[in-house]
């Protein structure tokens, strides 16, 4: 990802960025590009807890994709603590991803609403940039069981809460980023 904006684009300086999209949409790659372009020290916060060989292979692929120069912190639940401890003006933090973080909270029987409020407070207080990756999970069919419906609803609330406080929100679909926020980058629609 180039430091220079593309022809005709508007450059935006952001402290908190939410990158969302579907599975394999390119959202992690896009988020990594943002952090790489920042020319700051790079910290990758992995929220995944590998439970099987396939998940270990995914983690290895992500690590290889990022390349050298990243410091990785594996933290499945305490994002607030990591952001508070690691955020500095000279450091950019990438959290990948909020979806797995939420799963970890639900399985640990933590209160997602309270943890989201804590995370929001940490993001507002962070002196350096934080890029958060999340999945957009509510666009499909209604899940067939109560736990999956609860997860889908909690994920929607989490994404909405973080998008509200973020300086920039980007939807990545088929590898293409669409800036959702700030709204001045979008065309004004009139009927």
Strand partners, 132: 18, 95
Rounded to whole angstroms, the Cα distance separating 45 from 57 reads 17
- Please determine, for residue 20, whether its predicted confidence score (pLDDT) is greater than 80: yes
Which of 38-47, 64-73, 125-134 is predicted with the least confidence, judged by mean pLDDT?
64-73
Residue 187 — very low, low, confident or very high, per pLDDT cuts 50/70/90?
A: low
Active site residue 62: yes
The reply to whether 65 sits in an annotated binding site is yes
- Please determine, for residue 188, whether its predicted confidence score (pLDDT) is greater than 70: no
Task: Reply yes or no: is the peptide bond before residue 182 cis, omega within 30 of 0.
Answer: yes
The reply to whether 64 sits in an annotated binding site is yes
- Are 101 and 76 in contact, with CB atoms under 8 Å apart? yes
The reply to whether 74 sits in an annotated binding site is yes
What percent of the chain lies above the pLDDT cut of 70? 90
**Structural tokens at position 65:** 């994709």
Instruction: Give the residue-averaged pLDDT of 155-169.
Output: 96
- Are 151 and 103 in contact, with CB atoms under 8 Å apart? yes
Mean pLDDT of the residues in the chain: 89
- Give the length of the chain: 191
- Are 95 and 128 in contact, with CB atoms under 8 Å apart? no
The reply to whether 41 sits in an annotated binding site is no
**Structural tokens at position 16:** 């908190």
Q: Within 42-97, where are the H helices? A: 53-66, 79-86
Residue 12 — very low, low, confident or very high, per pLDDT cuts 50/70/90?
A: low
Cα 117 to Cα 73, 88, 91, distances in angstroms: 22, 21, 23
pLDDT tens digits along 53-106 = 887 787 777 777 777 899 999 999 999 999 999 999 999 999 999 999 999 999
The reply to whether 39 sits in an annotated binding site is no
Q: Which of 126, 50, 54 is nearest to 94 (CA)?
A: 126
- Are 77 and 101 in contact, with CB atoms under 8 Å apart? yes
pLDDT at 9: 54
Rounded to whole angstroms, the Cα distance separating 71 from 85 reads 14
Q: Which of 12, 41, 50, 62 is the catalytic position? A: 62
Does domain 16-181 sit in CATH 3.40.50.300? yes
The reply to whether 103 sits in an annotated binding site is no
pTM: 0.88
pLDDT tens digits along 138-154 = 887 888 899 999 999 99
The reply to whether 21 sits in an annotated binding site is yes
């Amino acid at each position: 990802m180039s430091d220079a904006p593309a022809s005709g684009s508007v450059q935006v300086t952001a402290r908190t960025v939410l990158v969302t999209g579907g599975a394999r949409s390119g959202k992690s790659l896009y988020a990594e590009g943002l952090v790489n372009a920042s020319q700051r020290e790079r910290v990758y916060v992995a929220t995944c807890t590998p439970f099987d060989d396939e998940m270990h292979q995914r983690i290895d692929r992500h690590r290889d994709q990022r390349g050298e120069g990243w410091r990785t912190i594996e933290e499945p639940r305490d994002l607030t603590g990591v952001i508070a401890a690691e955020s500095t003006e000279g450091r950019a933090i990438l959290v990948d991803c909020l979806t797995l973080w939420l799963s970890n909270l639900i399985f640990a029987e933590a209160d997602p609403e309270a943890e989201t409020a804590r995370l929001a407070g940490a993001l507002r207080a962070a002196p350096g940039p934080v890029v958060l990756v999340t999945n957009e999970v509510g666009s499909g069919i209604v899940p067939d069981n109560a736990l999956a419906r609860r997860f889908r609803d909690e994920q929607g609330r989490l994404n909405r809460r973080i998008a509200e406080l973020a300086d920039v929100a980007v939807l990545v679909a088929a590898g293409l980023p669409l800036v959702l926020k700030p709204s001045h980058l979008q065309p004004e629609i009139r009927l």
